Amino acid sequence: MVSRMTFLANKLSERLWVRPLLMCLVSVVAAFMAQWLGNSGLSVYLPSISRDSLETLLSIMSSSMLVIATFCVGSMVAAYASAGNSATPRSFALVIADDVSQNALATFIGAFIFSVVAIVAVKNDFYAEGGHFVLFCMTFSVLAAVIVTFVRWVDRIARLGRVNSTIDKIEEATAKALEHRKQAPLMGGIALAPVSAPNREVYILKPGYIQRIELSSIQKLAERLDMTVRLLVLPGSFVFPGQPVLLVGGQRALDEQDISTLQSAFILGKNRTFIEDPRFGLVVLSQVACKALSPAVNDAGTAIDVLSSFARLFSQWNEPVATEDMADCRFDRIQVPELDMQDLFDDAFNAIGRDGAGSIEVVLKLQKTLTALADCPAPGMREAARLHAAKALARAEQSLSLDTDKQQARQASCCASPAS
């Protein structure tokens, strides 16, 4: 349940209207709360505030907040476009979910709604004398929040959409996904084993990327029918109609309702997400590097920064997980395949090794990164690192023109023979 709520919260964070809507509701409630507080027994102790001064202050705030909110939206749209052009369009979901920018937009719109509602109420004699003072205090509190938010937002918007900032956001999202999967390598299920006969494949009905699999609903059905289930796909896989996604084994036959329950456990979407798909973050980082290595951009430094991100991410994967942090096996009737280390390295290094083969700076950074990862004890990492080092070295030897550059690449590689 917690995992599902987290998934839904992350999906909502990609919608720009959510926080402004909540802030508008809070603003309306605050404007009417001033009337209630002003009519309480404490109103006799409150100083008197001129109605004209309050109207003037609210009018200034309403007109200025609309301008600032419009400016905020324009700046955010420009930053989103910059992120797509300088990095990759796949980073848009992370950039648009920036907390500081969303909070700024929500604050500016909320302050505008608050001032409009309050000024209408003041002009219609909704507040008593005590209510005027309470509203005056609320107005200054809102102005203070706007000033602090604006200062923070200006600093953030200056960086939002820049390629380095985008790489940091992608790395952070990928690190969270990898840590979550490292703590639950089988997603709460059990390791692969022979499925009891007779068995039956369950097919998907429409194409799309698997964004989430509701293992809890599959587990309930498996317990009720006394069957075992094997996942044939993981979040991030693209599935086609008629493609098997589950292998169900047991003596009980499945009716149409059971099959529909199993199919509805797969949440599909048009795009991959970072939340439960660790491989997607590696793919997006690799795309950022490849775009930087294109002839139109020719920015080897960005590719080197991405390789540094890969070094940190795979080093994090190599770190042991404390026993108390490991997830419990909650789905003992569902067999789940683990992430393949070779697939992770393919997502991260294949494209960079290909597109950066002609740049000695990128070649050296790539070989040094893979050489360092080849010393990590994580299962499968040494073999995957050496394989990709060999592939990248072969590509570099074909693309580099100078013999001295080729010799440097061989010396930096963990797979080169001593003789070379």
Residue 296: count of CB within 10 angstroms of its CB: 7
User: What percent of the chain is predicted at pLDDT more than 70?
Assistant: 90
Helix axes 278-293, 163-183, angle to 10 degrees: 150
At residue 8, the pLDDT reads 64
Closest residue by Cα to residue 270 from 104, 60, 92: 92
Lowest-confidence pick of 82-86, 161-165, 352-356: 82-86
The model's pLDDT over 250-309, given as tens digits with 9 standing for 90+, comes to 888 888 999 999 999 999 989 898 888 999 999 999 999 999 998 888 899 999 999 999
Q: How far is CA 158 from the centre of its chain?
A: 21
Break the chain into its structural domains and give their ranges. Answer: 2-161
Over range 101-106, report the average pLDDT: 84
Taking a C-beta distance cutoff of 8 angstroms, is the pair 34, 140 a contact? no
Is the pLDDT assigned to residue 344 strictly greater than 90?
yes
Taking a C-beta distance cutoff of 8 angstroms, is the pair 239, 265 a contact? no
E-assigned strand segments in 232-277:
238-239, 244-249, 266-269
HSE-up of residue 201 (Cα within 13 Å, Cβ side): 9
Largest CA distance in the chain: 93
The model's pLDDT over 361-411, given as tens digits with 9 standing for 90+, comes to 999 999 999 999 998 888 889 999 999 999 999 999 999 999 999 999 999
Residue 48: count of CB within 10 angstroms of its CB: 9
Task: Tell me the helix, strand and coil percentages in the chain, rounded to 5.
Answer: 65, 5, 30
Q: How far is CA 194 from the centre of its chain?
A: 35
At residue 384, the pLDDT reads 94
Cα(129)–Cα(136) distance, integer angstroms:
11
Q: Residues with Cβ < 8 Å from 117, sequence gap 6 or more? A: 27, 28, 31, 32
**What is the secondary structure of 65-100 as a DSSP string?**
HHHHHHHHHHHHHHHHHHHHHHT-GGGHHHHHT-HH
Taking a C-beta distance cutoff of 8 angstroms, is the pair 307, 352 a contact? yes
| Inter-residue long-range contacts of 153-157, CB under 8 Å, 24+ positions, other chains counted | 153/72, 153/100, 153/101, 153/103, 153/104, 156/98, 156/100, 156/101, 156/104, 157/75, 157/76, 157/79, 157/101
At residue 418, the pLDDT reads 47
The model's pLDDT over 160-170, given as tens digits with 9 standing for 90+, comes to 778 888 899 99
At residue 140, the pLDDT reads 86
- pLDDT bracket for residue 40 (50, 70, 90): low
Taking a C-beta distance cutoff of 8 angstroms, is the pair 367, 393 a contact? yes
